[in-house]
Amino acid sequence: MMLILEDVIYGNWEVSGVLEELILSAPMQRLKAVHQGGAIFLVDPSQQHTRYEHSLGVCWLVRHFGGSIGEQIAALLHDVSHTAFSHVGDQVFGHTGEDYHEQIFEEVIGRSGIPLILAKHGYDQALQYFDRYTLLEQPLPDLCADRVDYTLRDLYHAGMISLADISHFVSELAVEGGRMVLTSEAAARWISMQFKRLNEEYFKKPEYLFANQRMAEMLKRAISDGLLKPVDLQLDDLAVIAKLRTFGFGEELDGITQLHGFEQFAVKGAAERIKRRELRPAVCP
């Protein structure tokens, strides 16, 4: 039996065995309702792509460029510990490095059924070697599967690049010494420019900053008042919104969608909290 996956970015592909079982597991299925951009879908309904789609995309890239099954597993699961509303959780819990999901990764995995699935297939050590998975993660300013996928995926859904652009760029990717590189200076310039656009025009879009900050403030207040527990953010976006409405936050939630208070929103302060990022890919013609 094969599980056929459909992806708007890379097309259809198949998985079986441990990858299939992991994809069908509850922690991975939860990511279908955890939006990649946090709460921005409340102000821009076109931005509906999720951590699930991103996780599959990263796995596809690692597989396409020859990564081991262990690295494909790590790619698939690397974001499974994201809270509801993704990086909004970093604002709620004061993680300026945007690494809250990494800090709780082992805890989230440990209380799930994932270790049993990995052990069943003989991959119980697969998540112990993230430092060896050089296709999956690299520090800036280098390329890696995680960075490539979210850059292409966010830009595509924002209407800033086309599928043809993506196909051409992926054809220029290669692997050298276990790391992602580009085969032309033109491709390196293109992705560096697109990454800059993503950071300046997408992550720092005022309406998006507003939505995420307002959601973070609401969640912090709900936790402070004892209405929500921190663990409740391990639910998905829709479940947390339902809880907030039950606790009387419906008007505030609607206010985000309607941009109430946006005119007085301090865009500059919110934008300064976004990490400064720059991409300078290696080129190996």
As a whole number of angstroms, the distance between CA 75 and CA 56 comes to: 8
Q: Which two tokens stand for residue 1?
A: 């039996």
Which DSSP state fits 31?
G
| Residues 5-31: b if buried by 16+ CB within 10 A, e if exposed | beeebbeebebeebbebbbebebbebb
- Comparing 128-132, 194-198, 216-220, 253-257, the range with the smallest average pLDDT is 128-132
Q: Judge contact between 135 and 17, C-beta under 8 A.
A: no
Q: Global pTM? A: 0.96
| Average pLDDT of the residues of the chain | 96
**Half-sphere exposure of residue 1: CA atoms within 13 angstroms, side-chain side:** 6
* Structure confidence by residue, pLDDT tens digits, 41-92: 999 999 999 999 999 999 999 999 999 999 999 999 999 999 999 999 999 9
CATH code, 132: 1.10.3210.10
The upper half-sphere exposure of residue 91, i.e. CA atoms within 13 Å in the direction of its Cβ, equals: 26
**89, amino acid identity:** G
Whether residue 62 is contained in a domain is answered as yes
Inside any domain, residue 260:
no
> Domain total for the chain?
1
Q: Band the pLDDT of 271: cuts 50, 70, 90.
A: low
C-alpha–C-alpha distance, residues 154 and 188, integer Å: 18
**Considering the domain boundaries, does residue 211 fall inside one?**
no
Structural domain span for residue 100: 3-206
- Is residue 53 one of the residues assigned to a domain? yes
258 within domain boundaries: no
Cβ-in-10-Å burial (0-12, 13-18, 19+) of 139 comes to: exposed
Task: Let me know: does 273 contact 189? Beta carbons within 8 Å.
Answer: no
How far is residue 211's CA from residue 235's CA, in Å, rounded to a whole number?
A: 19
Confidence of residue 1 (pLDDT cuts 50, 70, 90): confident
Strand partners, 181: 174
Specify the pLDDT at position 36: 98
Q: Is 139 left (phi over 0), alpha (psi -120 to 50) or beta?
A: beta
Percent of the chain past pLDDT 70, that is, above it, reads 98
* DSSP symbol at 200: I
Classify residue 263: in a domain, yes or no.
no
Q: Quote the percentage of the chain above a pLDDT of 90.
A: 93
The verdict on residue 134 lying in a domain is yes
In angstroms, the CA 165 to CA 171 distance is: 10
Element (H, E) at 175: strand 173-176
Predicted local distance difference test score (pLDDT) of residue 285: 80
DSSP structure string for 134-148: TTT---TTS--HHHH
Q: What is the pLDDT of residue 266?
A: 75
80: in domain: yes
Please give the pLDDT value at position 97: 87
pLDDT of residue 217: 96
Q: What pLDDT digit, counting tens, does each position of 215-231 carry?
A: 999 999 999 999 999 99
The pLDDT tens digits for 96-140 are 889 999 999 999 999 999 999 999 999 999 999 999 999 999 999
Q: What's the confidence (pLDDT) of residue 96?
A: 87
